[in-house]
Amino acid sequence: MSQRKKIIAANWKMYKDLAESNDFFTFFIENLQDTKAEILIAPSFTNLWHAFDATREYPIEIVAQNMHESEEGAFTGEVSAKMLKSIGIERVILGHSERREYFAETDRILSEKVRTALANEIKIIFCIGEKLEDRKDGDHFKLVESQLRNGLFHLNAKQWESVVIAYEPVWAIGTGETASPEQAQEMHQFIRKTIADKYSNEVSDNVSILYGGSVKPANAKDLFAQPDIDGALVGGASLEVESFIDIISAL
């Protein structure tokens, strides 16, 4: 029997200052209902500590959006795993397509970040996903397989307990265009099989695989009905309490 968790995660990207973040949590906590989902929220670095403090009595986990691959050093503007740990953060998003695209995060850097996070007992949400041209060329499976292999296949089976995968097709991020439930399921099934082939069915059955890319209250239920979709990583629709709660209720 699979142990994998249902997760709804919010990636706030570079939205919400401290006051906006506080307002969100006040309203969110008031309105949150019982759910079988684990709820994760990733605010910007400047809001992390306050968000952690404001939610510590509630079933909400605060997550970082990024961290540096080195333990420490002369890296102006960067944040280390140890710094995150010191304020109670135990999970980080790595490999988001915006980091890969705008901040030149390569597979090699990402595999280092994965290593450093796990060495510091920080769990990861590892994002993978193809661009539109990869899909048009029929290369989407190959591309996703190589992101998995280069980013994560240096891990041992036990370390996979600390990994959540987010499949986010780049063409569906912030565009309003969602992968159809069938397209998403097909890729999630492929990801699970690729992990099973490298490790074992036991490892792959227990990994939560989230879908991300224009998830909204209107499409969430159909996506969550797919057998290999264990939840969502939500951008735009996580910024408003109502729509985020509606997505949580769809699980």
Ligand X SMILES: O=C(CO)COP(=O)(O)O
Measured between alpha carbons, how far is residue 221 from residues 226, 228, 235, 248 in Å? 9, 14, 17, 10
Q: Which two tokens stand for residue 88?
A: 């109670």
Q: Which of residues 155-184 bind ligand X (CB under 6 A)?
A: 168, 173-174
- Residue 48 sits in the site that holds ligand X (CB under 6 A): no
* Closest CB to ligand X: residue number: 235
Q: Which two tokens stand for residue 95?
A: 């490999």
Min. distance of Cβ 38 from ligand X in angstroms? 16
168 is catalytic: yes
Q: Which listed residue (68, 96, 140, 188) is catalytic?
A: 96
Q: Which of residues 8-47 bind ligand X (CB under 6 A)?
A: 11
Question: Could you give the CA distance from residue 134 to residue 81 in angstroms, rounded to a whole number?
Answer: 33
Candidate ranges 154-162, 183-191, 198-206, 230-238; the one touching ligand X (CB under 6 A): 230-238
Instruction: Give φ, ψ of 61 to 5 degrees.
Output: -105, 130
Min. distance of Cβ 42 from ligand X in angstroms? 8
Q: Which listed residue (61, 69, 145, 168) is catalytic?
A: 168
Helices and strands counted in the chain (H then E): 11, 8
- Residue 66 in marked binding region: no
Amino acid at the residue 212: G
- Residue 13 in marked binding region: yes
Q: Which is nearer to ligand X, 47 or 203 (CB)?
A: 47
Question: Could you give the CA distance from residue 194 to residue 177 in angstroms, rounded to a whole number?
Answer: 26
- Residue 233 sits in the site that holds ligand X (CB under 6 A): yes
Min. distance of Cβ 114 from ligand X in angstroms? 17
List 21, 214, 219, 243, residue binding ligand X (CB under 6 A):
214
Only one residue has tokens 């996979």, namely 160
Amino acid at the residue 196: A
Chain centroid offset of residue 234 CA: 9
Q: What is the DSSP string of 32-100?
A: PPP-SSEEEEE--HHHHHHHHHHHTTTTEEE-BS---SSSS-S-TT---HHHHHHTT--EEEE--HHHH
Q: Which is nearer to ligand X, 70 or 249 (CB)?
A: 249
Min. distance of Cβ 175 from ligand X in angstroms? 7
- Residue 31 in marked binding region: no
Q: Which is nearer to ligand X, 138 or 176 (CB)?
A: 176
Number of residues that bind ligand X (CB under 6 A): 14
96 is catalytic: yes
- Interface positions with ligand X (CB under 6 A): 11, 96, 168, 173-174, 212-215, 233-237
Which sequence positions are flagged as catalytic?
A: 96, 168
